[in-house]
Amino acid sequence: MQIYLPIADLPVNVFLVLGMGLAVGYISGMFGIGGGFLMTPLLIFIGISPAVAVATVSSHIAASSFTGAISYWRKRALDIALAMMLLSAGIVGTATGVWLFTELRALDQLDLMIGLSYVTLLTIVGGMMIYESVRAVMRTRRGMPATLRRPGSHTWLHGLPFKLRFKRSKIYVSAIPVWAIGFVIGFVGAIMGIGGGFLLVPMLIYFLRVPTATVIGTSMVLTLITMASATVMHAATNHLVDAVLALILMIGGVIGAQFGARTGQKMRGERLRLLLGLLVFAVGLRFAYALVVQPDDLFSLRYVRGG
Amino acid sequence: MMRRLAITLAFIVVACGTEPATAERLVVSLSNHRVAVTSNFVGEELVLFGTIEPNPITSPLRPPYDLVITVTGPRQTLRTRRKQRMLGIWVNVDSREFVSVPSYLAVLSNRPVSNIANQDTLRRLQVGLDNFLLPQRIGADVADTVRDDPFRRAFVRLQTQQGLYRESGTAVTFLTPTVFRAAIPMPAAVPTGSYGINVELFAGGILVARTNSALEVIKTGFEQYVADAARDHGLLYGMATALMALLIGWFASVVFARD
């Protein structure tokens, strides 16, 4: 069944888009990520212009992460205090990112910059996650606890001043790394057109030692707020949010996220991290492949303006 | 601005210079002057019927005739970019801007245009994809290039792949020597706006008559409403979309919480 999208200006198959929403929603619910780094390339692949894809995906992520956040809230598996702390720095990061985005676009090399940042960030983060989680899986195989909570696991980050206690996550850390992480997520999200959940989750785990139990719910709260405001900003400035496309993606996304969240909570933390690491790494490789292999067509068209 | 004016003037001069002899008159009728893009729009085919009438009524007709129909969509400016390998990765190194070119361009005829008239005539009348004026911004100038220019060829090829540019030597059928029928394909991704239809009649390689028609591609109903809202009330539209996201997210969690 075909339906015409009013802003994207092209017809798409409803069931294809619904299926994409379901699949990405499932993954996002399972890992507590927005899924923007998967959904945006998928939409571009079916012919939607990158600008419309990025703008519309933000509203889809908002819906998915809201339903995910509610389900984690019911299980008391999120840390509102930590999320608000991250958000305060995230807003500053987003504003900085939007400014740099505009500067890069003027140089006409934005596509390349986005491609390179995807490759660098995704392969490094994915690689680190795979390495860490494989070691954790091996440890459990040998009958040892998966995560070692020994005094040495406290890094120099824990020696910084302005210490805050986050009761729900049972951590006691300096505000400086929390703000730094919030800033980086907001900044990278604006540059790459992603929510940044797949970066936030490992950062919270590795740098702040947030327990796996609360990390996903907390990440979802942050993603929800940033993506809902991104939707409003995109609509107000660029007029590129396609509400019809967003609606189809959302319906698929929220259903998928429900099932994903259940699967995610049944799985062991290190297994979950290994899977997410593999996924992130694979997407990174896909972007690297696109940069290195000779494209089918050396020429491409870009719409400049009407008239 | 001056350049655009110069191009327009050049058009007028060409048009006046080739005002055909008036022994024939074209009468055409389009099946539909308004293509409505609705939620289930997957493309459409318009039909143009026409006859060749003697003008004045006593003058003799001189078949066989050839007919070329050129349909042009609303103008837009596009950039064609070329990639090249640099330090192992493929990078856009070069680009050309095509200024105010048709977003849709169909050249439909009863046989390949190269068989209808000689190259000079076709070039002067801008008949055929190869001869249509596609101005590029080259440095400070705006001008069309030779048709073998790699950017021009790539531009036409990419637009053809999208179904937006086409040249067909079989789209016009003569039902009798003076009655013809043409199929104008409108792909699903057709841009909205006003379209011009230019019908040109050739006899023995010479342009003998021409006429114009027009059609309009518009969004209707719900599509139009959404597009208007997004453009005119961006902030409200964005807040409504965000609210819709929250409602759907909440609704899903309520539905799924029961079991």
B78, B226, B253: residue with CB nearest A303: B78
Q: What is residue A152's predicted lDDT score, i.e. its pLDDT?
A: 43
Q: What is residue A102's predicted lDDT score, i.e. its pLDDT?
A: 67
| A264 or B241: which leads in pLDDT | B241
With CB atoms and an 8 Å threshold, state whether A66 touches B37.
Answer: no
- The answer as to whether A172 is a domain residue is yes
Q: Which residues pair with B202 in a beta bridge?
A: B66, B207
CA distance, residue B198 to nearest chain A CA (Å): 20
Q: Is the pLDDT of residue A114 over 60?
A: yes
Stated pTM of the model: 0.70
Element (DSSP H or E) covering residue A117:
helix A110-141
Do residue B83 and residue B156 come from a single domain?
A: yes
CA nearest B128: which of B115, B145, B142? Answer: B115
With CB atoms and an 8 Å threshold, state whether B189 touches A9.
Answer: yes
Average pLDDT of chain A?
Answer: 80
Q: What is residue B143's predicted lDDT score, i.e. its pLDDT?
A: 80
State whether residue B11 sits within 8 Å of chain A by CB: no
- The answer as to whether A306 is a domain residue is no
- The answer as to whether A173 is a domain residue is yes
Instruction: Determine which of B37, B87, B218, B248 to mutate to test the interface with A (most A C-beta atoms within 10 Å).
Output: B248
- Whether the CA torsion A177, A182, A188, A191 is positive or negative: it is negative
Instruction: Report the range of poorest mean pLDDT among A80-94, A147-161, A182-196, A277-291.
Output: A147-161
| Domain boundaries, position A165 | 2-292
Task: List Cβ neighbours of B1 (8 Å cut-off, separation of 6 or more).
Answer: none
Percent of chain B at pLDDT > 90 equals 35
- The number of distinct structural domains making up chain B is 2
With CB atoms and an 8 Å threshold, state whether A294 touches B231.
Answer: no
With CB atoms and an 8 Å threshold, state whether B85 touches A236.
Answer: no
Do residue B170 and residue B245 come from a single domain?
A: no
Q: Is the pLDDT of residue A148 over 70?
A: no
Do residue B187 and residue B59 come from a single domain?
A: yes
B90, B91, B241: residue with CB nearest A241: B241
Q: Is the pLDDT of residue B15 over 50?
A: no
ipTM of the prediction: 0.76
- The answer as to whether A304 is a domain residue is no
Q: Which residues pair with A171 in a beta bridge?
A: A166
- Alpha helix segments (H runs only) across B66-149: 113-116, 119-125
Phi-psi region of A276 (alpha: psi -120 to 50; beta: other; left: phi over 0): alpha
- The answer as to whether A105 is a domain residue is yes
Angle between helices A243-266 and A50-74 (to 10 degrees): 40
Helix and strand numbers (H, E) in chain A are 10, 5
Instruction: Provide the pLDDT confidence category of residue B37 given band limits of 50, 70 and 90.
Output: confident
Instruction: Provide the pLDDT confidence category of residue A147 given band limits of 50, 70 and 90.
Output: low
Do residue B127 and residue B209 come from a single domain?
A: yes
| Domain boundaries, position B123 | 2-219
Average pLDDT of chain B?
Answer: 84
- The answer as to whether A299 is a domain residue is no
Do residue B44 and residue B87 come from a single domain?
A: yes
Q: Is the pLDDT of residue B9 over 70?
A: no
Nearest residue on chain B to A238, alpha-carbon basis: B234
Q: What is the pLDDT of residues B180-233, one digit of tens each?
A: 999 999 988 788 899 999 999 998 888 988 999 999 998 887 777 888 888 888
Distance CA B138, CA A285 (A): 37
- The answer as to whether A298 is a domain residue is no
- The number of distinct structural domains making up chain A is 1
* CB B235, CB A15: distance < 8 Å: no
Q: Is the pLDDT of residue B146 over 70?
A: yes
Distance CA A279, CA A216 (A): 17
Do residue B161 and residue B189 come from a single domain?
A: yes
Do residue B173 and residue B244 come from a single domain?
A: no
| Residues of chain A positioned with their CB less than 8 A from the CB of B84 | 298
The Cα-based distances of B248 to A6, A22, A255, A267, B253 in angstroms read 20, 14, 10, 27, 9
Distance CA A100, CA A252 (A): 33
Do residue B230 and residue B215 come from a single domain?
A: no
Q: What is residue B259's predicted lDDT score, i.e. its pLDDT?
A: 45
With CB atoms and an 8 Å threshold, state whether B257 touches A74.
Answer: yes
- The answer as to whether A302 is a domain residue is no
